Structure 1
Amino acid sequence: MMNDTLNVAGIIVSPHHYIDGQRVVSDETFDLFSPIDQRLLGQVAEGLAEHVDAAITAAARAYPAWSALSAAERKVYLDRFADEIGKRADAFCILESNDAGVLLSRMKHGVVPRAMLNITWFAEHALTLQDHAIDTEQAHHMVRHDPAGVVAIITPWNSPLMLATWKLGPALAAGNTVVVKPPEWAPLTSSLLGDCAHAAGLPPGVLNIVQGSGTKTGARLVSDPRLARISFTGSVPTAKWIAQTAGANLIPCSFELGGKSPFIVLADADIDNAAATGALMYRNAGQVCLAGTRFLVHALVRDRFIAAMRNYVEKLNIGDPRDEATEVGPIIHPRQVERVQSFVDRAIAGGAELLWGGAGHPFGAQYYQPTMLANVRQDSEIVQNEVFGPVLTLQTFHSDDEVIAMANGTDYGLGGVCYGETEHATHIAQQVRTGFIWVNSFGIRDLAAPFGGIKRSGVGREGGEWSFEFFCDVKDVIVPKKPFRASFSHR
């Protein structure tokens, strides 16, 4: 029998759904295990058809009153919501470290502050969504951003709290009501968001959280015609299925999907700096969609770069993510460990050269050595498909035209990194087909800037005005400058 609460390292969290302002139990549950040591954290409620229906019904019922509030009135609620996240900062850090394996240090210094900002920044930015005037000779146009309705938000397991709030901020600030389906393998911080919403006084039904698997809960959610928007971060196959299902109801979707991003090292690059940044690609055990995983290194500096990066990789501290000295933690699930190993085994069998790593790490069953594979073909599986683990590839090039072709030579186009003399690197970066690319840097983000990919890496953009363009219905109210008289011409 499922307990009313779970105790995870001293943090009390509900395993139940959060629907219409209250906790809702389920007759079906699923087991939740920690990637740190495979211990059972407890049983979590599985979302059945009745729970999905109740959540969407509650959101639809709450929508008229929530959407009728001004942006300033909604901001009061959302600022309180962010404050409640801040009050539970330690709890969020401990929960996500235990159920997702995210580094405790990253949670403290990066994720939780960013989660709060995701709420407050979009609440503030929504104040600027006043009527935008377009004045023409014939009429005054007032362009409005009206809330769309009930929004479904589906988040992945590699950064559950950050990505949930990244979508929740603009969706709620715009005046929508929301149903969140958190990741099955890491649902606990999303559950805690329900407590924050309740404590902040968000009206019942404005935020609903239904836990469960994608095949059960997620499928029921995205097939409901009452939804106005679906925002999903995850895998390409799942996005394709969601698109087909939502298409039957003409529901707009936003997808942030996988990456196979190039990390370009030009001959005129600062090799040591590029190598130090390269080692960052192993953070979160390589479970980062925007990481540069395909290293494209000029042949003239190949050996120097490999030696420099090996030096940084050998110093990485691999271990328990709850230890703030740890730099690389566990892979989320045994199935993901098997997937990573199978990619590596097939690559080596196909002729790839193993520079380092290539196997599990002695710290534990779900820990994997940072790995680099060289001498890989452009058309090989390991180059063309996302591994989503601490596995990188290295190829060499001899000219700018060659590296641009290699960088653009996959079906993905999320991010990228380019190291070299600034003008040269910028020139190369501008020709890489991707949603964003860092020049001589990595990870610089701003909530006002667009984020998203092209090709198989996604549809649409998130951030700033782009988030509101998706979560709103844009409407033009047209008022003529002169009295309008209808007239008909007859032949």
Structure 2
Amino acid sequence: MTGRRTDIGGVTVPVDHLIGGEWVGSPDTFETRSPLDWDAGPLAHVARGDADTARAAVAAATEGFAVWGSWGVSQRAEVMHRLADLIDANAEEIALAETLDMAFLQESMRLRLVGRGALNFRTYADLIVAHEEREWDAKNLHNWVQRMPAGPAVVITPWNAPFMLSTWKLAPALAAGNSVIHKPAEWSPLSAALLAELTLDAGFPPGAYNLVQGIGEEVGAALVADPGVRRITFTGSPGTARHIGHAAAENIVPFTAELGGKGPLIVFADSDLDAAAHRAAWQFDDSGQVCLAGTRLLVDASIRDEFMKKFDEHADALVLGDSRDPATQIAPMVHPDHRDAVHGFVERARANGDTILRGGQPRADSLHYEPTLIEPTSNDSEVVQQEIFGPVLTLQTFDDESDAIRLANSTAYGLSAIVFTGSRERAERVGRALRAGLVWVNTFLVRDLTAPFGGCGISGIGREGGDHALEFHSDLKTLMILDDSCH
């Protein structure tokens, strides 16, 4: 069954659900448009799943789990490596589809993020094969701790960097032996459909990977409430996570959530100021639609003017344009509603008396929003305390190290932090004091995929990455045999 397909800039993309290895339509559809040319009309009309779709997907995943979960780890790893190879072979098509669908920079997608998606599958395929069960003798017993696949997992992924973030969440679930029902965001559903098609080519058994398209409040809510689901993993907003958490609690289902951030970027006077200013200006990357971004610039008061001079030079050089143009550095925002929400933050800051140091307006002829820097009147200002998820940074100064730490830890979020300093002792001291799941010193977005990933506070629950993700997607069993009782 081939299902409906749509041509997207020369790339043919499925627009139905993939359930039990078959393309399945829905009576209704929703439209997706390109942020690069919003007024041109829909890119595609995508199947709009409902409660019946959710039930069918969970049933298919339950059947698929009986097969996929019974495979040995080497057999699963072989198929995952095959999928990674197919991702690499189709990088151009995936990059173009995602660029048209959500405006991610095509060059960055092609050279970096699609390859990272393939690496996610290779990493977890290798981790699951390399895993050694713990064995030990105690109390006259020989003990084994074994991982058992947990069952069908619902994987809900966000609209920003959708292909890479989908692979990041899907790979450990599949490596652990779980079947998955993948629900991508309705603002950027198309690259997930290409991934679904590649799982068929890679040889995943029917029902091991299922794709359900649609609106979160409709099909997503039905998926997380289904008692046949045994794991839920979500990336998105704290508000949505609260609803999912209630559903997970009803069925006693383990749940992880990565819920965004409001990261500080701290610049000490002993820093390489040009490197710090350059990195600060690049927090506007992807129009600020990055959960890990250091959106609160905290700068030693003694170097404020020098830092700002360098920051302005780097920010002035940023190029806003079409995401398909390799010269473009700042892409349009994903959706007019999101651009308007970002502008609402800026307008309220302006009305509150906060100082707009640069930017502060949407572009009239595109979905771009000007890279914006705001100096707030207070640390309690909304633009300091709330995630904006757009190209809007704040600037605050601090007097000493303890003041910097106080400001850095003063929001309800705790996903990431960035520190610039020339002192190894300060790097370790401040790094330990920050309440964040990830802290970078003198760099950003460089990470070992086996390290834990997740946030503190309202930035999330649980950890992904390496064995941490595999443990979440598994049920652990201790097998104990009385010594000398078996021959």
Q: TM-score, normalised by structure 1?
A: 0.96
3-state SS of the aligned residue for 2:144?
strand
Paired residues for 1:302-381 under 5 Å:
302-362=304-364, 364-381=365-382
Task: Give the drift of 1:75.
Answer: 1.1
Task: Tell me the equivalent position of 1:384.
Answer: 385
Could you tell me how far apart the structure 2 residues matched to 1:235 and 1:294 are?
Answer: 19
Paired residues for 1:166-177 under 5 Å:
166-177=168-179
Could you tell me how far apart the structure 1 residues matched to 2:74 and 2:68 are?
Answer: 12
Q: Which amino acid aligns with 2:205?
A: P
Tell me if 1:402 matches 2:403: yes
Tell me if 1:191 matches 2:193: yes
Task: Give the drift of 1:320.
Answer: 0.6
- Structure 2: give runs of 5+ residues left out of the alignment: none
Task: Tell me the equivalent position of 1:488.
Answer: none
Task: Tell me the equivalent position of 1:478.
Answer: 480
CA contact (8 A) 1:415 1:436 kept: yes
CA contact (8 A) 1:130 1:144 kept: no
3-state SS of the aligned residue for 1:254?
strand
Identity %: 42
Could you tell me how far apart the structure 1 residues matched to 2:36 and 2:292 are?
Answer: 23
Task: Tell me the equivalent position of 2:301.
Answer: 299
Paired residues for 1:23-422 under 5 Å:
23-38=23-38, 39=40, 40-362=42-364, 364-422=365-423
Task: Give the drift of 1:361.
Answer: 2.6
Deviations 1:350-389 (A, max 9, x none): 1111111100135x33110100001341111110000000
Could you tell me how far apart the structure 1 residues matched to 2:415 and 2:44 are?
Answer: 36
CA contact (8 A) 2:36 2:367 kept: yes
CA contact (8 A) 1:376 1:383 kept: no
Q: Which amino acid aligns with 1:224?
A: D
Task: Give the drift of 1:141.
Answer: 1.4
Task: Give the drift of 1:400.
Answer: 1.0
Could you tell me how far apart the structure 1 residues matched to 2:166 and 2:190 are?
Answer: 12
- Structure 1: give runs of 5+ residues left out of the alignment: 485-491
Deviations 1:170-201 (A, max 9, x none): 11111100000011000000011111011112
Moved more, 80-89 or 392-401: 80-89
Moved more, 423-432 or 392-401: 423-432
Could you tell me how far apart the structure 2 residues matched to 1:422 and 1:110 are?
Answer: 31
Task: Give the drift of 1:348.
Answer: 1.4
3-state SS of the aligned residue for 2:433?
coil
3-state SS of the aligned residue for 1:473?
strand
3-state SS of the aligned residue for 1:412?
coil
CA contact (8 A) 1:426 1:439 kept: no
Task: Give the drift of 1:483.
Answer: 5.2
3-state SS of the aligned residue for 1:474?
strand
Could you tell me how far apart the structure 1 residues matched to 2:454 and 2:117 are?
Answer: 18
Could you tell me how far apart the structure 2 residues matched to 1:193 and 1:186 are?
Answer: 13
CA contact (8 A) 2:67 2:205 kept: no
Task: Give the drift of 1:245.
Answer: 1.3
Task: Tell me the equivalent position of 1:11.
Answer: 11
Deviations 1:32-70 (A, max 9, x none): 111111032021100112211111111101112211111
Task: Tell me the equivalent position of 1:489.
Answer: none
Could you tell me how far apart the structure 2 residues matched to 1:476 and 1:249 are?
Answer: 24
CA contact (8 A) 1:317 1:328 kept: yes
Q: TM-score, normalised by structure 2?
A: 0.97
Moved more, 419-428 or 308-317: 419-428
CA contact (8 A) 2:270 2:423 kept: no
Task: Give the drift of 1:481.
Answer: 2.4
CA contact (8 A) 2:376 2:384 kept: no
3-state SS of the aligned residue for 1:437?
strand
3-state SS of the aligned residue for 1:430?
helix
Task: Give the drift of 1:482.
Answer: 5.6
